[in-house]
Amino acid sequence: MAAEGAEISVKTGNNHVGNGNGNGDPLIVFMPSGRRGRFPRGTPVLQAARQLGVDIDSVCGGRAICGRCQVVVSEGEFAKLGVTSKGDHLSDFSAVEQRYADKRSMKPGRRLSCQAVLLGDLVIDVPEDSQVHKQVVRKRAEMRAIEIDPVVKLHYVEVAEPDMHDPTGDLQRLEKALKEQWGLTDLDTDLRVIQGLQSALRTGKWTVTVAVHLGKQITAVWPGFKDQVFGLAVDVGSTTIAGHLCELSSGEVVASSGLMNPQIRFGEDLMSRVSYVMMNPGGDAEMTKAVRDAINDLAAAVAKEAGCTVQDILEVTFVGNPIMHHLLLGINPIELGGAPFALASDGPTMFWASEIDLKIHPNARIYVLPCIAGHVGADTAGVILSEAPHEADEMTLVVDVGTNAEIVLGNKERLLAASSPTGPAFEGAQISCGQRAAPGAIERIRINRETLEPRFKVIGCDLWSDHPDFAKQTEATGVTGVCGSGIIECIAEMYLAGILTQDGVIDGSMAAKSPRIQPAERTFSYLLHDGTPQLRIFQNDVRAIQLAKAALYAGARLLMDHLNIDKVDRITLAGAFGSHIDVKYAMVLGMIPDCDLAKVSSAGNAAGTGARIALLNAAARDEITRVVKQVEKVETAVEPKFQAHFVEAMAIPHKTAPYPHLAKAVALPAPKVVMPRDDDGSGGGRRRRRRG
Amino acid sequence: MAAEGAEISVKTGNNHVGNGNGNGDPLIVFMPSGRRGRFPRGTPVLQAARQLGVDIDSVCGGRAICGRCQVVVSEGEFAKLGVTSKGDHLSDFSAVEQRYADKRSMKPGRRLSCQAVLLGDLVIDVPEDSQVHKQVVRKRAEMRAIEIDPVVKLHYVEVAEPDMHDPTGDLQRLEKALKEQWGLTDLDTDLRVIQGLQSALRTGKWTVTVAVHLGKQITAVWPGFKDQVFGLAVDVGSTTIAGHLCELSSGEVVASSGLMNPQIRFGEDLMSRVSYVMMNPGGDAEMTKAVRDAINDLAAAVAKEAGCTVQDILEVTFVGNPIMHHLLLGINPIELGGAPFALASDGPTMFWASEIDLKIHPNARIYVLPCIAGHVGADTAGVILSEAPHEADEMTLVVDVGTNAEIVLGNKERLLAASSPTGPAFEGAQISCGQRAAPGAIERIRINRETLEPRFKVIGCDLWSDHPDFAKQTEATGVTGVCGSGIIECIAEMYLAGILTQDGVIDGSMAAKSPRIQPAERTFSYLLHDGTPQLRIFQNDVRAIQLAKAALYAGARLLMDHLNIDKVDRITLAGAFGSHIDVKYAMVLGMIPDCDLAKVSSAGNAAGTGARIALLNAAARDEITRVVKQVEKVETAVEPKFQAHFVEAMAIPHKTAPYPHLAKAVALPAPKVVMPRDDDGSGGGRRRRRRG
Tens-place pLDDT, residues A5-63: 333 323 333 344 554 455 689 999 998 888 999 999 999 999 999 899 898 988 888 88
Distance CA A490, CA B339 (A): 81
Residues of chain B with Cβ-Cβ distance to A635 below 8 Å are: 164-165, 167
Residue of chain B nearest A325, judged by CA positions: B195
- Within the 314-333 window of chain B, which residues sit less than 8 Å (CB to CB) from chain A? 329-332
- Domain membership of residue B473 (yes or no) is no
Shortest distance, CA A188 to any CA of chain B (angstroms)? 9
Interchain contact A633–B (C-beta under 8 A): yes
Where in the sequence is the domain holding B621, given as residue range(s)?
386-424+544-665
Tell me, rounded to whole angstroms, the distance of Cα A437 from its chain centroid: 20
Residue of chain B nearest A356, judged by CA positions: B191
pLDDT of B448 > 50? The answer is yes
When divided into structural domains, chain A yields a total of 5
- Within the 17-36 window of chain A, which residues sit less than 8 Å (CB to CB) from chain B? none
Distances (CA, A) of B352 to A172, B321, B360, B364: 21, 21, 10, 6
B149 three-state secondary structure: strand
- The DSSP annotation for B576-596 comes to HHHHHS-HHHHHHHTSS----
Q: Judge if B553 and B407 occupy the same domain.
A: yes
Kindly determine whether residue B335 and residue A373, on different chains, have CB atoms separated by under 8 Å: no
- B109 vs A233, residue with greater confidence: A233
Residue of chain A nearest B376, judged by CA positions: A167
B673 three-state secondary structure: coil
CB of A131 within 8 A of CB of A57?
yes
Residue A246 is predicted with a pLDDT of: 96
Interchain contact A351–B (C-beta under 8 A): yes
Mean pLDDT score, B465-470: 96
Grade residue B5 by pLDDT with cuts at 50, 70 and 90: very low
- Give the 3-state DSSP-derived string for B393-417, with helices as H, strands as E and coil as C: CCCEEEEEECCCEEEEEECCCCEEE
Q: Return the exposure string of A100-117: e unless at least 16 CB atoms fall within 10 Å of the residue's CB, then b.
A: bbeeeebeeebbbbbbbb
Instruction: List pLDDT tens digits, range B97-114.
Output: 999 999 888 888 899 999
- Domain membership of residue A5 (yes or no) is no
Distances (CA, A) of B468 to B442, B471, B475: 17, 7, 13
Distances (CA, A) of B296 to B289, B290, B303, B356: 10, 10, 11, 10
Interchain contact B65–A (C-beta under 8 A): no
Phi, psi of A92 (to 5 degrees): -60, 155
Which range among B175-184, B521-530, B669-678 shows the weakest confidence by mean pLDDT? B669-678
Give the relative orientation of helices B484-496 and B539-563 as an angle to the nearest 10 degrees: 90
Distance CA B494, CA B449 (A): 9
How big is the A-B interface in CB pairs under 8 Å?
144
Shortest distance, CA B80 to any CA of chain A (angstroms)? 51
Residue of chain A nearest B331, judged by CA positions: A195
Grade residue A573 by pLDDT with cuts at 50, 70 and 90: very high
Distance CA A261, CA A264 (A): 6
Instruction: List pLDDT tens digits, range B578-628.
Output: 778 889 999 999 999 999 999 999 888 899 999 999 999 999 999 999 999
H/E stretch holding B15 reads none
Residue B217's CATH number: 3.10.20.880
Q: Judge if A66 and A161 occupy the same domain.
A: no
CB of B397 within 8 A of CB of B363?
no
End residue of a domain, out of A206, A223, A240 = A223
Residue A172 is predicted with a pLDDT of: 97
Which range among A344-348, A603-607, B227-231 shows the weakest confidence by mean pLDDT? A603-607
All residues at 6 or more sequence positions from A199 whose CB lies less than 8 Å from its CB, including other chains: A223, B332
- Domain membership of residue A13 (yes or no) is no
pLDDT of B12 > 70? The answer is no
Distance CA A42, CA A58 (A): 20
Name the percent of chain A lying above pLDDT 90.
Answer: 74
Q: Judge if A548 and A417 occupy the same domain.
A: yes
| The amino acid at B84 | T
Distance CA A263, CA A9 (A): 61
Residue of chain B nearest A350, judged by CA positions: B191
Grade residue A578 by pLDDT with cuts at 50, 70 and 90: confident
Shortest distance, CA A546 to any CA of chain B (angstroms)? 27
Which among B161, B167, B635 has CB closest to A373?
B167
Q: Judge if A332 and A398 occupy the same domain.
A: no
Residue B22 is predicted with a pLDDT of: 53
Among A355, A336, A238, A332, which Cα is nearest to A282's?
A332
- The DSSP annotation for B559-578 comes to HHHHHT-S--SEEEEEHHHH
Distance CA A243, CA A253 (A): 10
- Domain membership of residue B16 (yes or no) is no
Grade residue A3 by pLDDT with cuts at 50, 70 and 90: very low
Q: Judge if A274 and A402 occupy the same domain.
A: no
Q: Judge if B573 and B660 occupy the same domain.
A: yes
Phi, psi of A184 (to 5 degrees): -90, 130
pLDDT of A126 > 60? The answer is yes
Residue B138 is predicted with a pLDDT of: 64
Residue A212 is predicted with a pLDDT of: 97
Name the percent of chain A lying above pLDDT 70.
Answer: 93
pLDDT of B275 > 50? The answer is yes
Q: Strand A217-223's sheet: what is its strand order?
A: A152-158, A207-213, A217-223, A188-189
CB of A122 within 8 A of CB of A83?
yes
Distance CA A330, CA B470 (A): 66
Shortest distance, CA B633 to any CA of chain A (angstroms)? 7
All residues at 6 or more sequence positions from B691 whose CB lies less than 8 Å from its CB, including other chains: B547
Grade residue A681 by pLDDT with cuts at 50, 70 and 90: very low
Q: Strand A349-352's sheet: what is its strand order?
A: A253-260, A240-247, A230-236, A313-320, A365-368, A349-352
- Domain membership of residue A167 (yes or no) is yes
Interchain contact A683–B (C-beta under 8 A): no
Name the percent of chain B lying above pLDDT 90.
Answer: 74
Instruction: List pLDDT tens digits, range B342-381.
Output: 999 999 999 999 999 999 999 999 999 999 999 999 999 9
Beta strands in A403-522 (DSSP E): 405-410, 415-420, 441-447, 454-458, 481-482, 517-520
Among B650, B628, B635, B492, which Cα is nearest to B555's?
B635
Nearest-5° Cα angle at B533, B262 to B438: 35
Residues of chain B with Cβ-Cβ distance to A198 below 8 Å are: 331-332, 335, 342, 344
Instruction: List pLDDT tens digits, range A264-323.
Output: 889 878 888 999 999 999 999 999 999 999 999 999 999 999 999 999 999 999 999 999
pLDDT of A689 > 70? The answer is no
Residue of chain A nearest B373, judged by CA positions: A167
Residues of chain A with Cβ-Cβ distance to B191 below 8 Å are: 329-330, 349, 351, 355-356
Which range among A270-274, A306-310, B26-30, B400-404 shows the weakest confidence by mean pLDDT? B400-404
Q: Judge if A262 and A360 occupy the same domain.
A: yes
Among A355, A360, A399, which Cα is nearest to A380's?
A399
Grade residue A447 by pLDDT with cuts at 50, 70 and 90: very high
**Interface test with chain A among B198, B287, B372, B633, by most A beta carbons within 10 Å:** B198
Distance CA A280, CA A337 (A): 14
- Domain membership of residue B285 (yes or no) is yes
pLDDT of A692 > 90? The answer is no
Interchain contact B125–A (C-beta under 8 A): no
Sign of CA dihedral A71, A77, A81, A84: positive
Kindly determine whether residue A198 and residue B330, on different chains, have CB atoms separated by under 8 Å: no
Which among B189, B335, B351 has CB closest to A198?
B335
Residue A61 is predicted with a pLDDT of: 84
Distance CA B457, CA B226 (A): 49
pLDDT of B3 > 90? The answer is no
Residue of chain B nearest A189, judged by CA positions: B349
- Within the 154-213 window of chain A, which residues sit less than 8 Å (CB to CB) from chain B? 161-172, 189-192, 194-195, 197-199
Residue of chain A nearest B172, judged by CA positions: A345
- The DSSP annotation for A62-111 comes to SSSSS-TTEEEEE-EEEGGGTEEE-GGGBPPPPHHHHHHHHHH---TTEE
All residues at 6 or more sequence positions from A214 whose CB lies less than 8 Å from its CB, including other chains: A151, A618
pLDDT of B141 > 50? The answer is yes
Instruction: List pLDDT tens digits, range B420-444.
Output: 988 878 877 789 999 888 899 999 9
- Domain membership of residue B537 (yes or no) is no
Residue of chain B nearest A374, judged by CA positions: B167
Q: What is the mean pLDDT of chain B?
A: 90
**Interface test with chain B among A161, A163, A164, by most B beta carbons within 10 Å:** A164
Residues of chain A with Cβ-Cβ distance to B281 below 8 Å are: none
Residues of chain B with Cβ-Cβ distance to A332 below 8 Å are: 195, 198-199
Kindly determine whether residue B191 and residue A164, on different chains, have CB atoms separated by under 8 Å: no
Shortest distance, CA B79 to any CA of chain A (angstroms)? 54
Is the peptide bond between B281 and the residue preceding it cis, with omega within 30 degrees of 0? no
Residue of chain A nearest B332, judged by CA positions: A195
Kindly determine whether residue B347 and residue A167, on different chains, have CB atoms separated by under 8 Å: no
Among A292, A235, A227, A242, which Cα is nearest to A263's?
A292
Distance CA B125, CA B113 (A): 11
Q: What is the mean pLDDT of chain A?
A: 90
CB of A542 within 8 A of CB of A506?
yes
Residue B497 is predicted with a pLDDT of: 96
Residue A580 is predicted with a pLDDT of: 80
Phi, psi of B79 (to 5 degrees): -55, -45
Mean pLDDT score, B247-275: 91
A418 three-state secondary structure: strand
Distance CA B643, CA B645 (A): 5
Residue B95's CATH number: 3.10.20.30
Q: Judge if B193 and B247 occupy the same domain.
A: no
Q: Strand B365-368's sheet: what is its strand order?
A: B253-260, B240-247, B230-236, B313-320, B365-368, B349-352
- Within the 402-421 window of chain A, which residues sit less than 8 Å (CB to CB) from chain B? none
Q: Judge if A42 and A71 occupy the same domain.
A: yes
Which among B170, B189, B633 has CB closest to A342?
B170
Distance CA B35, CA A381 (A): 51
Strand partners, A30: A124
Beta strands in B194-295 (DSSP E): 207-213, 217-223, 230-236, 240-247, 253-260
**Interface test with chain A among B170, B186, B191, by most A beta carbons within 10 Å:** B191
Longest pairwise C-alpha distance within chain B: 103
Residue B297's CATH number: 3.30.420.480
CB of B322 within 8 A of CB of B332?
no
Kindly determine whether residue B195 and residue A344, on different chains, have CB atoms separated by under 8 Å: yes
Distance CA A688, CA A376 (A): 26
**Interface test with chain A among B331, B336, B365, B376, by most A beta carbons within 10 Å:** B331
Grade residue A217 by pLDDT with cuts at 50, 70 and 90: very high
CB of A336 within 8 A of CB of B198?
no
| The amino acid at B567 | K
Sign of CA dihedral A370, A376, A379, A381: negative
Residue B383 is predicted with a pLDDT of: 96
Interchain contact B633–A (C-beta under 8 A): yes
Kindly determine whether residue B344 and residue A198, on different chains, have CB atoms separated by under 8 Å: yes
Q: Judge if B248 and B158 occupy the same domain.
A: no
Distances (CA, A) of A214 to A46, A211, A617: 24, 10, 10
pLDDT of B144 > 60? The answer is yes
Kindly determine whether residue A195 and residue B344, on different chains, have CB atoms separated by under 8 Å: yes
Q: Judge if A558 and A411 occupy the same domain.
A: yes
- Domain membership of residue B481 (yes or no) is no
- The DSSP annotation for B630-665 comes to HSEE--GGG-HHHHHHHHHTTSSS-SSS--HHHHHH
Residue A679 is predicted with a pLDDT of: 44
Kindly determine whether residue A633 and residue B167, on different chains, have CB atoms separated by under 8 Å: yes
Grade residue A72 by pLDDT with cuts at 50, 70 and 90: very high
- A426 vs B340, residue with greater confidence: B340
Residue A138 is predicted with a pLDDT of: 64
End residue of a domain, out of B172, B191, B223 = B223
Interchain contact B113–A (C-beta under 8 A): no
Pairing of strands A146-147, A152-158: unpaired
All residues at 6 or more sequence positions from B462 whose CB lies less than 8 Å from its CB, including other chains: none
Grade residue B139 by pLDDT with cuts at 50, 70 and 90: low
Shortest distance, CA A209 to any CA of chain B (angstroms)? 17
Strand partners, B648: none
Kindly determine whether residue A191 and residue B638, on different chains, have CB atoms separated by under 8 Å: no
pLDDT of B683 > 80? The answer is no
Q: Judge if B45 and B93 occupy the same domain.
A: yes
End residue of a domain, out of A188, A223, A258 = A223
Phi, psi of B502 (to 5 degrees): -65, -25
Residues of chain A with Cβ-Cβ distance to B339 below 8 Å are: 164
